[in-house]
Amino acid sequence: MDESKLIETKLTSKDIFCGKIMTVQLDTVRLPNGKEATRELLRHKGAVCILPLTEKGDVIVERQFRYPLNTVLLEIPAGKLDFVGEDPLEAAKRELREETGVLAGKMTYMGEYVGSPAMLDERIHMYLAEDLTYGECDYDEDEFMSLDKIPLEELAEMVLRGEVPDGKTQAAVLRVYVMKQKEKNK
């Protein structure tokens, strides 16, 4: 199929809100059939998430209250890029240290996670952190969380049972689980 027949062309764009984390935009686009439509979007600098895997095969996870959902979620460490163009690897190292106190001797890039492409341009760069050394956490002023360790296989089973609603955590856990299974089978 010729994908160029699917492309929408931006005609106008208006910032509705510019915040610390995101910008809300209202765009007018020309559709492939020539008609016009509006698109509401959230612009985001980008983010990282890190699956820290211990030598014993445990994943360091955090529990954190998420205001939009009004609940505490189980997640892997993550955080936003400080600025557009920031090196995602450097951001991942920073967030891992700040949220868990962990430094990784080995960081493996696992690709991007795009959670809601119909309205949000955020790309989350996923990393596997191994060869861990432990230090002190350095939380941001507005961060409150508790840390835990869960065996990778158990965490993958929790994802499959629907007990981990966070999408980036689901994607990273299942990706690492499959990677480690393939390594075992070699």
Task: List the catalytic residues.
Answer: 141
Cross-strand partners of 128: 51, 108
DSSP 25-84: EEEEEE-TTS-EEEEEEEEE--EEEEEEB-TTSEEEEEEEEEGGGTEEEEE--EEE-SST
Closest to 121 in 3D by CA, of 9, 51, 36, 40: 40
Closest to 130 in 3D by CA, of 184, 179, 163: 179
Residue with tokens 């994607």: 171
What phi and psi values does residue 160 have, to the nearest 5 degrees?
-65, -25
CA trace torsion 27, 32, 35, 37 (10° rounding): -30
CA distance 116 to 122: 8
